[in-house]
Amino acid sequence: MGFLSVLAAGVAGFAFGAVWYTVLAEKWMSASGVPLDENGVPANRSDPIPYITSLLGAILVAGMMRHTFQLSGIDTAGKGLVSGLGIGLFLVSPWIATFYSFGARPKSLILIDGGYATFGCAVIGLVLTLLSIRKGFCRRSPEPLSTPLDPHPTRVSETGSGRTGRMTPVYRNREKPSNNQ
């Protein structure tokens, strides 16, 4: 089922977050308003709950991304990277921006946390596809022989070299239907 690739991708996304927030620590602490202790570090630094929540969240995101990638035929490292960027930038970051805007949070916090969501999803997508390709988990599921709206059975097969991922219908025992039907 690719559980190990999901786990590894989630851990990679979590590790990327550790680097991201270490580099941007001062700006993030200032923008987020997180309470600091006398040493200038977050007061909840020793509390394991935020770290556990973050790791579990990254694993859940990796699991859903793997599911989506498999259904969509995303099976190369480049497609995984670009799709991860798209998921982070166009699905996750807009929600962050919405929540933070209504909460009157600083724009810099939107950029820091939205940047992590964007690039973290890219890392997850890259790791998922690299591990899935290597282990053979990225396979297209078989296409149905017909759809409810098409009374004429068809099957779908790859054309060309098989690496483009383009699909075209192949019609059995009949001519290709005209556009007038």
What is the Cβ-side half-sphere exposure of residue 171, based on CA atoms within 13 angstroms? 9
Which pLDDT score is estimated for 2?
85
Q: 100 CB contacts (<8 Å, ≥6 apart)? A: 109, 110, 113
The pTM of this model reads 0.73
pLDDT, tens only, 108-136? 999 999 999 999 999 999 999 999 865 55
Give the single-character DSSP code of 179: T
- Above 50 in pLDDT, residue 148? yes
